[in-house]
Amino acid sequence: DVVMTQSPLSLPVTLGQPASISCRSSQSLVHSDGNTYLNWFQQRPGQSPRRLIYKVSNRDSGVPDRFSGSGSGTDFTLKISRVEAEDVGVYYCMQGTHWPRFTFGPGTKVDIK
Amino acid sequence: QVQLVESGGGLVKPGGSLRLSCAASGFTFSDYYMSWIRQAPGKGLEWVSYISSSGSTIYYADSVKGRFTISRDNAKNSLYLQMNSLRAEDTAVYYCARKDYGDLDYWGQGTLVTVSS
């Protein structure tokens, strides 16, 4: 199975400052169809996960443009340009290239310093 | 708008059974693969199972294979997860999610399953 790792696992940030989360996969996430199925999810406290980014860098509808995704192959990054209080939560990357088994990263907890 | 609403969770003894349901609306249910994902208390996300749009293709995580059965009723816009031989380690919030090729785009609010004597 593909193993997803994230760093850091905990990320205290100052309001208004940038934040960056790294996600690495144990195998390339480039699918035979040419797409790279790497999603980013946000899970606010007490809520279900919400997808922010799909196919590495595509923002979902309604997601603020301070969120951006980048990367290729096995290395990916989620960036928040200026952290706001509502961004507190846990962020997960997930690969869907090597299905049938989707695999998630362990999560990165973002909170305010 | 797309809505997924899970139900059927609760407290069950080890070795017991439970059937979860997920009611879908706001999209053509029969066009999409669907999936179950779970999250143990304070832990990360674990993919459990998915089913093709027609129900003809099904996959399970090794941790639930042989104990859980996923199914769907396209006429009722509903997804199910029959869970048998439940163990303490199956305690989790169970989410249904819509699968859009290699992505999981919409998730429900989840239903809590607690396995305890």
pLDDT band at A107 (very low <50, low <70, confident <90, very high): very high
SS3 call for A87: helix
Does the structure show a pLDDT above 90 at A105?
yes
Chain B: nearest CA to A17, how far in angstroms? 26
What is the rounded CA–CA span in Å between residue A91 and residue A100?
22
- Whether B59 and A102 lie within 8 Å, measured CB to CB: no
Specify the length of chain A in residues: 113
Residue B41 in tokens: 């208390």
Chain B: nearest CA to A46, how far in angstroms? 10
Does the structure show a pLDDT above 90 at B35?
yes
Of B44, B61, B110, the CB nearest to A101: B61
pLDDT of residue A106: 98
**Chain A neighbors of B47, CB-CB under 8 A:** 101-104
pLDDT of residue A91: 98
Does the structure show a pLDDT above 90 at A74?
yes
pLDDT of residue A37: 96
Mean pLDDT of B1-24: 98
Mean pLDDT of A15-19: 97
What is the rounded CA–CA span in Å between residue B47 and residue B60?
8
Q: Give the sign of the dihedral formed by CA B101, CA B103, CA B104, CA B105.
A: negative
pLDDT of residue A35: 95
Task: Tell me the DSSP string of B38-90.
Answer: EE-TTS-EEEEEEE-SSS--EEE-TTTTTTEEEEEETTTTEEEEEE-S--GGG
Mean pLDDT of A85-105: 95
Which has the closest alpha carbon to A98: A42, A55, A36?
Answer: A36
- Whether A104 and B108 lie within 8 Å, measured CB to CB: no
**Chain B neighbors of A108, CB-CB under 8 A:** none
In A1-113, beta strands by DSSP E? 4-7, 10-13, 19-25, 38-43, 50-54, 58-59, 67-72, 75-80, 89-95, 103-104, 108-112
**Whether the Cβ atoms of residue A53 and residue A59 lie closer than 8 Å to each other:** yes
Mean pLDDT of B7-27: 98
Q: Which residues on adjacent β-strands are paired with residue B37?
A: B47, B95
Q: What confidence tens digit (pLDDT) does each residue in B97-113 have?
A: 999 888 899 999 999 99
Q: What confidence tens digit (pLDDT) does each residue in A34-63 have?
A: 999 999 999 999 999 999 999 999 999 999
pLDDT band at B75 (very low <50, low <70, confident <90, very high): very high
Residue A76 to residues A3, A51, A94, B28, Cα–Cα distance (Å): 14, 16, 11, 32
pLDDT of residue B36: 98
Does the structure show a pLDDT above 90 at A99?
no
- Whether A101 and B47 lie within 8 Å, measured CB to CB: yes
pLDDT of residue A1: 86
pLDDT of residue B101: 84
What is the rounded CA–CA span in Å between residue A13 and residue A39?
22
Does the structure show a pLDDT above 90 at A109?
yes
Which has the closest alpha carbon to B61: B94, B106, B21, B19?
Answer: B94
Does the structure show a pLDDT above 90 at A100?
no
pLDDT of residue B102: 84
Mean pLDDT of B36-48: 97
The residues of A whose Cβ lies within 8 A of any Cβ of B are 31, 35, 37, 39, 41, 47-51, 54-55, 60, 92, 94, 96-97, 99-107
Of B59, B103, B110, the CB nearest to A96: B103
Of B44, B50, B104, the CB nearest to A106: B44
